[in-house]
Structure 1
């Protein structure tokens, strides 16, 4: 679905650019066609004016009592005497003008000088309605044909161009899925065995470091798994005891914090329930706890708070770490606070998407070398 949308996006961009380029010759075609139409109209007006003038001149030679003024469905005309007073008009009254040709809002006219005649007419004005419908019709047909061929050409060119990248993307996705599937079992086995060892060798610093490293690997693994399958995550929500959930997640990260002599301080109000997707709640809480530890200084404190206030409740994570210089970019995908602490830079991007999806307000306060506070405001539904 995403690849199809991407293809369509590039096709639309390519077609738009191509049409803008194609519009230049089409514009000149329309301009030239209108000029040709004007020339043709002038010739038609002159020919019709000559016919009317010839009929007027020949009337006297024919010795007839009644003069039948020529009429047309296309042209309409008026004759004027030498004092520029209208003698007769065929359809609607017309105005006499000085130039040979004159354009009005809706018509194009020609003035013919008449020789002496029995009607006393000195001037003949012949007009026809301006009609560019055929020009516009031809231009639209041309534009549609050009657009159609440009679209087809763009579609096939772009499709062929991005096909190798699509195959590579599919290959990488499959590779990551297979690799993650293979990693899941050894990580699980290692965690079980390190838990057994930690029970036998209590307070062993080496065991604690290995345990912390495995938990870090678990968080990274779960982030990647969620990131790759987020479009497949089912919209299943359940009522969760958020207070108890948060207590357990802090406990899970306690070993990781202890390895750097970091202390958790909890201010968690009890019996706060939330209707939420459990997988998404794991990612939101775990990423914040992981980052708080990751960017904290050794021998520092982390404050975790969950408090209910009227129709909303606030979840916050405060550390005494390195701080953030620019908070505007931290939620961008692949952003990393530094190149030392590791990670793929997708954790906060995942958090932002979850918050956007569930209409959770995010507030960030940070000061370099002092620490950061991440606050999430949940509306009580």
Structure 2
């Protein structure tokens, strides 16, 4: 243009030739695409800005995690030392105080971990390491042992039944461990009496199925469609009577997707819940 500003045009042309192949003239179109190119450039800038924002958010959360974890680990270490050193001299109230410090600190660490994991998934920062994993011996058996104490403290029976020990799957070990750790944690957390069952079996097609069943508070039919949404909890029970941030099941759903697994839930209020995770055969 005369003012020195360039504009974008899309030019298309085809030659008109005679019988000998000599070009006589050109026929074509010239379309002003300046508006489209400007929009495209704005979209590219917006994408780059969003990516930079995600990067900064991830770096910020990682730094905050470090800042929170470091003093908490010092508190936990010192509390454990004092507890071990003076346990025989403390009364019940003092021992309960130390147990409260331990539980509260670990709860904060778990919450930080959940926030970081969800953020990592949202920014596509998590890269799964898919390999053959023995679901029975490497994951479920260990989680069963790890959760025995927490179940016993609540007077609950924790049962693990493996109907087929040939349970090798292609999965990311870390994320699939988190799936079942969260489901078992929740089952124990929201069950006041009765039992929590872990069942590993295969269906008629050979697909591996893991069920986590509890006799806990359950969920209403109206709430079930929202159960895997982040930051969502059922008002009665889940928010008022129990601690939680509503991130655990959202993370479980995303981790199942990463591992090509399907998760389903059946639940009845005041009766209990059953989570079913199905892995494709092969």
TM-score bucket of the superposed structures, by smaller chain: 0.5 to 0.7
**Equivalent in the alignment of 2:9:** none
The CA distance in 1 between the partners of 2:85 and 2:150, in whole Å, is 16
Does the residue aligned with 1:302 lie in a helix, a strand or coil?
Answer: strand
Post-superposition offset of 1:186: 4.6
Post-superposition offset of 1:168: 6.8
Output aligned runs, 1:121-136, within 5 Å: none
Contact 1:262 1:301 (8 Å CA) reproduced: yes
TM-score by length of 2: 0.67
Please point out which of 134, 140, 143 is paired with 1:241: 134
Contact 2:265 2:276 (8 Å CA) reproduced: yes
**Equivalent in the alignment of 1:181:** 66
1:331 aligned onto 2:235: no
The CA distance in 2 between the partners of 1:200 and 1:252, in whole Å, is 27
Q: Where do 5+ consecutive residues of structure 1 fail to align?
A: 1-133
Judged with a 3 Å threshold, the aligned counterparts in structure 2 of structure 1 residues 208 and 273 are, in CA distance, closer, same or farther, namely farther
**Equivalent in the alignment of 1:356:** 257
Contact 1:215 1:256 (8 Å CA) reproduced: no
Post-superposition offset of 1:189: 5.4
1:300 aligned onto 2:185: no
Post-superposition offset of 1:224: 2.6
Q: Where do 5+ consecutive residues of structure 2 fail to align?
A: 1-26
Contact 1:237 1:275 (8 Å CA) reproduced: yes
1:370 aligned onto 2:271: yes
How many residues align structurally?
239
Please point out which of 105, 112, 117 is paired with 1:221: 112
Judged with a 3 Å threshold, the aligned counterparts in structure 2 of structure 1 residues 239 and 227 are, in CA distance, closer, same or farther, namely same
Post-superposition offset of 1:359: 2.2
Output aligned runs, 1:133-282, within 5 Å: 141-142=31-32, 144-149=33-38, 155=43, 159=46, 172-188=57-73, 197=83, 210-230=101-121, 231-244=124-137, 245-269=139-163, 271=165, 272-282=167-177
Tell me which structure has the larger Cα radius of gyration.
1
Once the two structures are overlaid, the 10-residue window that deviates more, 198-207 or 364-373, is: 198-207
Post-superposition offset of 1:348: 1.5
Once the two structures are overlaid, the 10-residue window that deviates more, 258-267 or 345-354, is: 258-267
Does the residue aligned with 2:226 lie in a helix, a strand or coil?
Answer: coil
Does the residue aligned with 2:279 lie in a helix, a strand or coil?
Answer: strand
Output aligned runs, 1:27-106, within 5 Å: none
Post-superposition offset of 1:316: 0.9
Please point out which of 319, 323, 333 is paired with 2:214: 319
TM-score by length of 1: 0.52
Contact 1:322 1:368 (8 Å CA) reproduced: yes
Once the two structures are overlaid, the 10-residue window that deviates more, 219-228 or 168-177, is: 168-177
Contact 2:164 2:202 (8 Å CA) reproduced: no
Post-superposition offset of 1:361: 2.0
Contact 1:238 1:276 (8 Å CA) reproduced: yes
Does the residue aligned with 2:260 lie in a helix, a strand or coil?
Answer: coil
Does the residue aligned with 1:328 lie in a helix, a strand or coil?
Answer: helix
**Equivalent in the alignment of 2:186:** 291
